[in-house]
Amino acid sequence: MQMLHDKAEWHGRQVIKIGRFYASSKTCHHCQIKITLTLADRVWTCPSCGAIHDRDKNAAINILNEGLRLLAVGTTES
């Protein structure tokens, strides 16, 4: 973890730690509905808004958004 912090500092960035059990893969980044997925579900369609998600890309967007949210509220636990 220290190397990550050092590299971030070197590049003028900040590391924001989100919760380990944050449901990043299982939450639609468009409408925020949470669904049940298995590890085998790589692509899924949101039952609420109809958005089609790649599991990993959706998770990355949710992780970014959660990090930005935590940064905005001042929770920069690292």
In the predicted structure, residue 78 carries a pLDDT above the cut 60: no
Tell me the per-residue pLDDT of 11-44, one tens digit each, with 9 for 90 and over: 999 999 999 999 999 999 999 999 999 999 999 9
Q: What is the total count of domains within the chain?
A: 1
Q: What percent of the chain has pLDDT over 70?
A: 95
pTM: 0.83
Range of the domain at 51: 2-72
Instruction: With respect to residue 77, please indicate whether it lies within any of the assigned structural domains.
Output: no
Check: CB of residue 70 under 8 Å from CB of residue 18.
yes
Sign of CA dihedral 36, 39, 40, 43: positive
What does the angle CA 72 – CA 45 – CA 67 come to, to the nearest 5 degrees? 15
